[in-house]
Amino acid sequence: MIYEIHLYVPKTGELTPAMMEWLYEHGQESGQPEPFWPVRRIRPHALARRLMRLDATLVPLQGPGDDVELHYPNAELGIVLYLHDRGVILFFPYMAYSIYSRVVLGICYTYIRYLYEVAGFWSFDPQINRFASGDDFGALERTAVLMDQVMPKLLST
């Protein structure tokens, strides 16, 4: 199973539930006027270059359209940053009771924190319905606890 965290730059400076509802309802519609969008437009290729200055080991792949995928070089960790015109989706596998889960979360949190500091990205974790700024260190622990609680249930079914 894949865990995902969505990252956006809210126009108001803080990501809210109403913004996420709007994005889920209208985010795939290309005809929405810019003033209606609650999050800023980004340039995926420019952001990819910036992330690759942070971590030169990331492997870039062209996604659909202008989207970009950045893969962590160790494929066994399964970390992928998917950059699109409104934000970033960070994918990584569910892991539980493992040193690898803390390593993966630490790597992911480094990207989240960097995006927050350099561009004002906020994160939304749909698995726990939680919004966080990049300086919310507790979000990392909440994610680890969730994976520790959920993964054994998934493995037993």
Q: What is the pLDDT of residues 13-37, one digit of tens each?
A: 888 999 999 999 998 888 899 999 9
Most confident of 1-10, 34-43, 100-109: 34-43
Q: What's the rounded Cα separation, in Å, for the pair 147 and 94?
A: 6
Q: Half-sphere exposure (CA, 13 Å, Cβ side) for 27?
A: 18
* pLDDT value of position 129: 78
Q: Are 125 and 143 in contact (CB under 8 A)?
A: yes
Mean pLDDT estimate for the chain: 85
* pLDDT value of position 103: 82
pLDDT digits (tens, 9 = 90+) for 40-77: 999 999 999 999 999 999 999 999 999 999 999 999 88
Q: Half-sphere exposure (CA, 13 Å, Cβ side) for 97?
A: 6
Q: Are strands 87-93 and 80-84 parallel, antiparallel or unpaired?
A: antiparallel
Q: What's the rounded Cα separation, in Å, for the pair 152 and 149?
A: 7
Segments forming the whole domain that contains residue 137: 2-156
The set of residues, in sequence order, having a beta carbon less than 8 Å from that of 44 and lying 6+ positions away, is 63, 66, 67, 68, 83, 84, 85
Answer whether residue 9 shows pLDDT above 90: yes
Domain count, the chain: 1
Beta-carbon neighbour count of residue 61 at 10 Å? 12
Q: Are 1 and 93 in contact (CB under 8 A)?
A: yes
User: For the domain that residue 81 is a member of, what is the CATH number?
Assistant: 3.30.310
Answer whether residue 136 shows pLDDT above 90: no
